[in-house]
Structure 1
């Protein structure tokens, strides 16, 4: 029997937690806690962002009343399911599960252009060091294997000439499933395919980012970790964790009539 996030008792608990703490808890038991991380929120403290005062790890700890251990990461501009453990032993087990590809991750993204119905990109990615965090890292590492599967869920053509080459602009709603977990993998793979994610200021297209800000008041990157599927590290039962959309995502989905297409 699947343990679905969002049962009645859990929803009651979520409401109470959200009243006292600005973090959305989508699942909690004695071993685990999963949140819906907002876009722009760092997972934990970083030397790269010394001025930040809000972190997912600390907010989650305060909400559940105990120390939590991160077992995977989401980029700062990415929203969605972020899983923590409540003990170091469970954290080790979950980290191994992620490393051994026993956790299925499903993301939603809005990308520039029309992509084929489905496909796979198998394109190795070079190591991308952080200026401070990876100061002493080996910069001569060979490119690492990186595989992403995709499915096109919906498409739209808008009567706006964002590019001077075209009178209209096309966008696709994509389901992205990473088989590997390289740094910025989905963002770099979409750029490699010439279909960058809308709102991505590092790997995206500035013209389309600017258009979405002006036309739809969309100030975030449209990449969302919608679902994690795994076996519970203690009970062994199937666990399905899903995260809903924020206001900006919801506005885009409604504007483009993509609400049904985006359902997990």
Structure 2
């Protein structure tokens, strides 16, 4: 598998592999049998370190297929357990940026709306149903273009499709996110990027911050550098 040659590695040691996930690729496999980020990353490790047999690499969090940005893999079972615990206990800080439709009247605020995952539709909906889960997203408008806003997003909770559903709910869906009202710009790519992630190292315990470069298609679409 030569795909690993294009893998953008942000950081690696004996415990972690941190990569910049391209938009349009799955982190983990599904029924489509498409090549995944996990497979590409395993091929990279196998080739670089000339490892015989199967390579251990564990998923501790995910990004949706059309989303780009920081993805952290664990390189051993102990690190996988500790990283998974850090994500569960909200010890991981995440910062996303998004291009959203429209100009925000309120430039900085918090969206606190519970979400219900609707499996039949494969999407999240704002709901007060007993089965819905609390979801909190902080946002700040960074820049405005013609009927588009560049927004920083800090999710306090980690619900499935949280950012996509919350922004759609307040009338500013993410550009290209057809599922949530953002229209279709590119196939399997939307303008949502996990730019930064700060996480406690699974062994040393110090806080490590990783940053991922914004995809080129953003600047190509806007005709300006971000």
* TM-score, normalising length: structure 1: 0.74
The structure with the largest alpha-carbon Rg is: 1
In the other structure, the counterpart of 2:125 is none
**Structure 1 or 2: more strand by fraction:** 2
Q: Tell me the number of residue pairs that the alignment of Structure 1 and Structure 2 aligns.
A: 209
Q: Decide whether the 8 Å contact of 1:191 with 1:203 is kept in 2.
A: yes
Question: Is 2:108 the counterpart of 1:127?
Answer: no
In the other structure, the counterpart of 1:185 is 162
RMSD of the alignment, in Å? 2.0
In the other structure, the counterpart of 1:164 is none
**Does the residue aligned with 1:126 lie in a helix, a strand or coil?**
strand
Query: Which consecutive unaligned segments of at least 5 residues does structure 2 have?
Result: 47-54, 123-128
Structure 1 residue corresponding to 2:202, chosen from 216, 219, 233:
233
In the other structure, the counterpart of 2:89 is 100
Structure 1 residue corresponding to 2:191, chosen from 198, 202, 222:
222
Distance 1:258 1:44, change over 3 A: same
Question: Is 2:11 the counterpart of 1:27?
Answer: yes
**Does the residue aligned with 1:42 lie in a helix, a strand or coil?**
coil
Question: Is 2:67 the counterpart of 1:78?
Answer: yes
Question: Is 2:111 the counterpart of 1:151?
Answer: no
**Does the residue aligned with 2:194 lie in a helix, a strand or coil?**
strand
Q: Aligned equivalents of 1:141 and 1:58: distance in 2?
A: 38
Question: Is 2:162 the counterpart of 1:171?
Answer: no
Report deviation, 1:130. Answer: 6.1
In the other structure, the counterpart of 1:91 is 80
**Does the residue aligned with 2:118 lie in a helix, a strand or coil?**
coil
Q: Decide whether the 8 Å contact of 1:69 with 1:86 is kept in 2.
A: yes
Question: Is 2:30 the counterpart of 1:46?
Answer: yes
Report deviation, 1:192. Answer: 0.5
Q: Aligned equivalents of 2:67 and 2:163: distance in 1?
A: 11
In the other structure, the counterpart of 1:60 is 41
Residues 2-29 of structure 1, C-alpha deviations (whole Å, 9 max, x = no match): xxxxxxxxxxxxxxxx996232111100
Once the two structures are superposed, the pairs formed by residues 186-205 of structure 1 within 5 Å of their partners are 186-205=163-182
Query: Which consecutive unaligned segments of at least 5 residues does structure 1 have?
Result: 1-17, 133-139, 158-169, 260-264
Q: Aligned equivalents of 1:176 and 1:45: distance in 2?
A: 27
